[in-house]
Amino acid sequence: AAAEDEVRRRAEEEEAERTAVYPVRTLAYIKGGDGSFELTMGGKASGKVYVCSVDSAAPLSHAPTHAAPLTVLRNSVSGKLVVSAAEDGTVRVANAGSRGYWQGEVHDGMYGAVSGAAVSRDDRYLLSAGRDGSFFVQRLGPTLSGQPASSSSSDSPEAEAEEAADAPDTTPRAALEPTPVCADITSPTHYSIEEAKQKTEEDNLRAAAEEKKLGVRGYLEKLRSEFVALVAENNARPAAERLPREAFEIDPGLRVMIESETQSKMDRARKELAWESERIAVGLAKLQAWFLDPVEVERVVMRSFKAGRQGVACTTFRVARLSEDLRGEISKAHAAAEREQWALSHSKGGVGGLSRLSRRGSNGGANGGAGAAGAQSPGAAGSAAHANKQELRRLQRKVREEEWAAFNATKPDDKYENPDDVAAIEQAQNSMGDFKLKTDATYVVPEEQRVNTDRKRQQMVLLEESVHNIKMDFNERFLALRDVRAAVLREVSAGATRIAAITDELADGETPEGMEALAVLVEPFQDTPMADEYPTENRGKVSDEQLAEFDAEREAAEAEKAGGLGGFGGGGKKKGGAGDKPPEGGGGNAAAAAAAAAEAAKQPTKSAAAAAHALANKLQEDAVAKAAAMDPRVAAAAAHPPTRLEQSELTASALRLRHERARLMSRRREMVSTFDLSLREMRREKATLEANMKAADMKRLVMYQELVLLKQFEKRENVLKGKLDGKMAEKADIAVKTDECTTRLDAKVEEVDRLTEKKRVVMRELDAMVDDSNQFREPLLKIFLKKIKRLKKKAEDDLDEDEEDEDEDEDFEDEEEDEEVCPAGCDQAMYDKVLALREKRLDQEDVIGEFQKLIDAFKKERDALGKKGKTTETSLKAINSEIQEFQKEKQHGLNQIDVTVSLRMHQMEYLYEQKLPVDLAEGLVFSRQALARLHERIDELVGEKAALRVQQRDLRREHVQLQRTRKERQGKISELETRAVEVQMLKFGQLIDLEALDRAGTVSKGAEELRESIKLQETQFAAEIKQWNAKVAGGQAELIRLTAENTACLNAVADLTKTQRDLEAQLTSTQAQLFVDPGAARRKEVAERDHLVQLVNAQAREIDTLKGEINVLSRKGGQVFS
């Protein structure tokens, strides 16, 4: 087995050696002509320089170099030094033929692989460049450079020699290939035979063409000079002798012919270059679409008018255009934020909806009962109005008991919490104003501050929008200020022209005032906009000077490529370049003044006064020359002195011009200083915004880290959110069902009340038909209230057999079912009407029973929904607790992300012994606004505490007053209870159970209905009695009238009768006197006396009878009203 492993290991090593890759890094021939060269490779062969020969299959020698693969290996120009560099950023300089070297880690070892390294021609400086864009220049020490040591090189890196140890030979073997031996061409300017021949022919042709061009140019220059001389001679002649310009055209058609030929050549060239132009245009459009179209605002530079140390410059933010996808994300983020705000505002008002519905459902029965009692209260009040004292007292006790029951029902239990107090406590906790650290173990993340991946992504998108808006706002104000600069430049240029014209007109350039005015024009002033100030406006514009410069550069490049004659030797100013462009602004003397001012400003030996003086002389000479050129009479008029009127006009004009010049000078300085000040302010603002943008970039990085972390929690959060949404949907469904059930229950209760009223109407119809005076009322009432077996009505679509439903009456239980017959002597029609009314009553009771069953079912459903709602509330609390723990865990993970905050030293207030501690782990980054808010909150809490103390003191006083009132009321109640017991013991000898008396004195339901019926009948009878009393009163009036008439007649008859009786008495007395019977007279008196006694006794009996009836009528309920 060991032998097999050894064989396998050797085979693997041979296979690895066979398949090993050795990429070639550098290859350099060694001077001397012996065919040897230096080779460096990567892979396992990296770190060594191999000296190989074309005549040998194996390397001749090797030397260790860098640990990483080499990127540069070259000799210095003098051949004394060898420079090498590697991918790890190290650079080595060694003496040729020596083992000593200097090596240093010059560039970044991670990203700074050396791309180039070399030594200067004098071997004193080392130059190296890295792939990360870095470039370093170092001075070599005297050991390597061969120069004597000096004080100036004391701070340079001194090379230290290191001896390289021999390493085991891991040299790869090169394949043996036959290579012809030939001499190398080392001259860089040497051409091959064919190239030399072609180059010679091309040089000869170019020289001949140039010679011909020079001849043609010379001839043209000669013609041009002759033409200019002729034109000058013509202009020098008087106007009458001058020839027109058209007379100098020898051949009028020559210009047209040359222009047509030129136009045809241009058209032909345009057609020839159409494809190339289109190709370049398409390429330019692609480049513009790729590089420029995504940029909304490019970098624009704006400089102040003052130059030098007083000058400032400010730039815009280079802003990329928001993509369509990002704009869509921003719109979605705004919509989501609005939805969250709307949901948050409505959730505060909708909390507790299920509990309110549950409370409403639980109180539905009580409200229904109260409604029923309210429906019966008018009847009860009406019956109580005619009841006796006992009934009234019973009703009063019942009302008091109901009031006490309602009052005791409002008494909260021990676990009851006042909703107002709970809301106040929650409001106080939410608006406490303290600062809660998110790193606290007890910190609870508010619902509105909870974040997930979608919300974090929205925050990142909104941050991008905010950054873009801030940059665009600054850029808009920047471009507006640039427009202001252009307007100021135009006004200043016009003012400079006017100042120069005024100075020219006043001819006071040598006076102090004029020199001051000219000194204003000499002040450094940047009036020519540069290319970076209008990059987008000047990008598509190309001037002739730029085209000429481009052609010159292209020709120089072609010449250098063709002949190798270019390089550092060429130079000289280019004709037609940008440097020959005359300064802008003004014309005539103003342009000359500006040019003179520029020339004066360039002379360092002249002062401002000397420059102003030179400018004044220049202006005066130009004015004189201009005036003489325009009209010779001006010079003649200048020789005569002005009159007094002309002198006064000239003086007034000079004063006006001086005032105007002074105003223009102050206006110029004011505008320039104001603009420069505005630019400085904008520069400061941009510095602040750049700091904020850097903070936004760091915040964006933090948000990205938070987003990555939130994605790890997203799965669990979605599960918990699904549970919460399910329970919330179930809770809402229960609330809706409870509301529907309560609504239907209220509707059924109202329907039962309506049916009960119909039943009472049937009872009133029976009372109206069979009153109390009817002798058959008792049997008919018994028949009416009798409960009989009835068949249910069959539905229209029910084909089954009818089912019987037997109900027992509560008032008439176990009643025998006798055959019903009409009572003897009762009217059959009345009996039939009573049976019909009974059917109507039974129909109403059946319907009421069905509705009562539905009411009971609804109550059971409502109770079941209430229990289910409580279970859902419990589940919601558990899920919310789980979500809260999950949010704590997520917040703990977010707290682990490092957040960079830039602070200044004056913002550090965490000091220990007046020093900044080394460990800032216990420090807290706090904003000044939050700190000021906490200080304000302390003052607010002091005020709230004082107010609460005052409120507590008032409540304590109120509590003491209520306790005192309670003791007084309890003493009064005890006194009344003792008095009631004493009265009961005094009157009855024992305590009376009022409830037992109420139960004993309580009438049955039938009696109550009969009482109501009697009340209605009494009302009807009272109305009839009132009518009959009116009729009786009318009859009595008629009777009185007739009685008066009858009395008058009777009085007449009585008078006549009296007269008759007197006459008869006289006759009788006359007879009596004749015959008298004493016994008969005595008997007559006795009879009259007996008759009077009987009459008195009858009247006494009648009086006793009336008193008994009065007592009977006055007695009701066992009490007599006195």
Query: pLDDT tens for residues 562-578?
Result: 654 333 333 333 333 33
- Do residues 94 and 75 lie in contact, with contact meaning Cβ atoms separated by under 8 Å? no
CA torsion angle 766 770 772 775 (round to 10): -140
> What is the rounded distance in angstroms from the CA atom of residue 1004 to the CA atom of residue 1010?
10
Q: What are phi and psi of 63, to 5 degrees?
A: -140, 140
> Residue 1075 has what pLDDT?
52
> Residue 645 has what pLDDT?
84
- Do residues 303 and 532 lie in contact, with contact meaning Cβ atoms separated by under 8 Å? no
| pLDDT-wise least confident of 112-126, 829-843, 1077-1091 | 1077-1091
> Residue 917 has what pLDDT?
84
Sign of torsion, CA 174 178 183 185?
A: negative
Q: Which residue has the tokens 């730039």?
A: 315
Q: Give the pLDDT band (50/70/90) at residue 837.
A: confident
Sign of torsion, CA 266 268 269 273?
A: positive
> Residue 935 has what pLDDT?
87
Largest Cα separation within the chain, whole Å, is: 224
> Residue 483 has what pLDDT?
92
Q: Which residue has the tokens 């040019």?
A: 595
Q: Give the pLDDT band (50/70/90) at residue 145.
A: low
Please tell me whether residue 31 adopts helix, strand or coil conformation. Answer: coil
> What is the rounded distance in angstroms from the CA atom of residue 311 to the CA atom of residue 779?
125
3-state helix, strand, coil in the chain (%, to 5): 65, 5, 25
CA count, 13 A, side-chain hemisphere, 407: 6
> What is the rounded distance in angstroms from the CA atom of residue 460 to the CA atom of residue 454?
10
Number of Cβ within a 10 Å radius of residue 866? 19
Which tens digit of pLDDT belongs to each residue from 194-234? 777 888 888 888 888 888 888 888 888 888 888 888 888 88
Tokens of 513: 């005032």
CA distances to 323, 623, 638, 643 from 646, rounded to whole Å, are 73, 20, 13, 5
Does residue 632 have a pLDDT over 70?
no
> What is the rounded distance in angstroms from the CA atom of residue 326 to the CA atom of residue 465?
9
- Do residues 47 and 67 lie in contact, with contact meaning Cβ atoms separated by under 8 Å? yes
Report the mean per-residue pLDDT for the chain: 76
Hey, what long-range contacts does 591-595 have (CB within 8 A, 24 or more apart)? 592/618, 592/619, 592/622, 593/500, 593/503, 593/504, 593/518, 593/521, 593/618, 593/619, 594/496, 594/500, 594/521
pLDDT (average), residues 727-753: 89
Sign of torsion, CA 988 994 998 1000?
A: negative
> Residue 953 has what pLDDT?
93
> Residues of 333-348 as b/e, b for ≥16 C-beta within 10 angstroms?
beeeeeeeeeeeeeee
Tokens of 8: 């396998």
Which tens digit of pLDDT belongs to each residue from 381-431? 444 444 456 667 777 877 888 888 888 877 777 777 777 888 888 777 776
Does residue 361 have a pLDDT over 70?
no
Number of Cβ within a 10 Å radius of residue 924? 10
> What is the rounded distance in angstroms from the CA atom of residue 544 to the CA atom of residue 550?
10
Sign of torsion, CA 525 528 532 533?
A: positive
Tokens of 790: 């009835």
Does residue 509 have a pLDDT over 90?
no
> What is the rounded distance in angstroms from the CA atom of residue 1080 to the CA atom of residue 153?
194
- Per the model's pLDDT, the better-predicted residue between 378 and 459 turns out to be 459
> Percentage of the chain with pLDDT > 70?
75
Q: Give the pLDDT band (50/70/90) at residue 1077.
A: low
- Residue 861's closest CA among 365, 263, 228? 365
Q: Which residue has the tokens 């400086």?
A: 125
- Do residues 406 and 1010 lie in contact, with contact meaning Cβ atoms separated by under 8 Å? no
Does residue 470 have a pLDDT over 80?
yes
Sequence-ordered strand ranges (E) for 622-691: none
> Residue 1006 has what pLDDT?
59
> Percentage of the chain with pLDDT > 90?
15
Which tens digit of pLDDT belongs to each residue from 651-691? 888 889 889 888 988 888 899 889 999 999 999 999 999 99
Q: Give the pLDDT band (50/70/90) at residue 781.
A: confident
Does residue 764 have a pLDDT over 90?
no
> Residue 653 has what pLDDT?
87
Q: Which range is most confident: 165-174, 882-891, 1071-1080?
A: 882-891
Please name every residue paired with 137 in a beta bridge, in sequence order, or none if there are none: 127
Which tens digit of pLDDT belongs to each residue from 303-329? 888 877 778 899 999 999 999 999 999
> Residue 20 has what pLDDT?
62
- Residue 502's closest CA among 671, 663, 669, 642? 663
pLDDT (average), residues 529-542: 78
